[in-house]
Amino acid sequence: MKKVLIANRGEIALRIIRSARELGIKTVAVHSECDAANLHVKMADESICIGGNRAKDSYLNIVALMSACDVSGADAVHPGYGFLSEQAHFASTVAECGITFIGPKPESMKKLGSKVSAREIVSKSGVPVLPGSGVLKSVEDALSISKDIGFPVLLKASNGGGGRGMRIVRSEDELKRAFESAQSESKAAFGSGDIFVEKFVEKPRHIEIQILADRYGNVIHLGERECSLQRRHQKVIEEAPSMHLDEELRQRMGKAACAVASAVNYESLGTCEFLLDEQKNFYFMETNTRIQVEHPVTEFVTGIDLVKEQFYVAMGERLRYKQSDIKLTGHAIECRVNAEDPYSFMPSPGKIENLIWAGGLGVRIDSGVYPGFSVPPFYDSMLAKVICYGHDRKESRAKMLRALRECVVEGIKTNIPLHKKILEHEDYVSGDTYTKWIEEKLLV
């Protein structure tokens, strides 16, 4: 592998450039018209404009991306996260052009891309799944299955994520309205109105397991991430490890995640997401067939560069680690800093007049913005990830509060005040949080 085209933008594109450079691999940045001054464009060995400002005209334009590969001579593509990163069609197109796709095989992506097919595969592997259905044919079908499962239930888009096409239903009376709404939103967001129903767990915790696999059948897990702090199903703060898992439960969940990967001959980096109920029972939710936004907390506690491991696997190397090599040391917390009003949560695009990021031992900032940078209104509002590492959770939290106080972003609004409020709350300190905690306890 000599040259990689990064089919993404912002902080993740910059993150990939750094690992590629350390491996001696040249990089090609692609960008929309409004992203021409982005930091990832400046840092790459070369850059190519692939279209207009709307994602569908640039970062989602497969023809433009493949043309950029042809023009630049790139022999590999890294998709990052979001955009086309989990599109099996894109991975297939890349492979058909004789270019290495840095990610799983298209066949594995297809099997895990649909939540319904993933549930079927996972249940056959002996991994616990919540009681639920296949793709629902009608509202009557949904009602019949929901009665069998027992309310409350959760309607979910089969081919989506991020909370879109998802509705909590607590009674028969709510079901018809929720069914039509979820189906419509799913079709608009993902091009498919397929939805299914599963049992809704009250006050669950969201735990995800990082997996790594090669083409030779070797699969390991790299521990868990606690991702329960969310707003409208979007993660806000993540940490590793979770204070709710002991070593026995960690290994059981890790083995379950590895079983999912083995069932589809998975290759590359991936994440299995689970719900953990108050009795410490866990249930498979979905698999993300890409690198996660929150991967730095795992890198801190394992000491492993996950992006480099993606490169090594894509180049055909065997895993460089055995399961017995993986030790979790210390504690890491990540806060997603977004360009948004911390109270109304309205996006806050515009020019950053002044910017100072925090520093010091155990503080990492992953960001693609700088003083004078104009935040466009066309994409995700995340400006940076502030990641702090300490010997334990108490020290990591103290570092994060100190780091957030050092951060200065002027000219636009950010959600830094929200992060401070969460970190200072007694429920966060004790770990007494769950997926709806921000909406039900913090913002009331």
Task: Output the CA torsion sign for 369, 211, 227, 289.
Answer: positive
With tokens 């994060």, the residue in question is 400
Active-site residue flag, 318: no
The CA distance from 27 to 13, in Å, is 10
Instruction: Report DSSP state, residue 57.
Output: G
279 burial via Cβ count (<10 Å: 0-12, 13-18, 19+): exposed
The CA distance from 152 to 176, in Å, is 14
Catalytic residue among 250, 290, 393, 397: 290
The CA distance from 328 to 339, in Å, is 32
Q: Radius of gyration of the chain from Cα atoms? A: 21
What kind and span of H or E run contains 371?
none
Exposure string for 254-271, b = 16+ CB within 10 A, e = fewer:
bebbbbbbebbebbbbbb
Largest pairwise CA distance in the chain = 60
With tokens 């998802």, the residue in question is 166
The CA distance from 364 to 368, in Å, is 13
Within 10 A of 36 (CB to CB), how many other CB atoms are there? Answer: 11
Strand segments, DSSP code E, in 191-293 are 195-199, 205-213, 219-231, 234-240, 268-276, 282-288
Strand segments, DSSP code E, in 259-381 are 268-276, 282-288, 331-338, 350-351, 354-356, 363-367, 374-375
Strand segments, DSSP code E, in 260-330 are 268-276, 282-288
Task: Write out the catalytic residue numbers.
Answer: 290
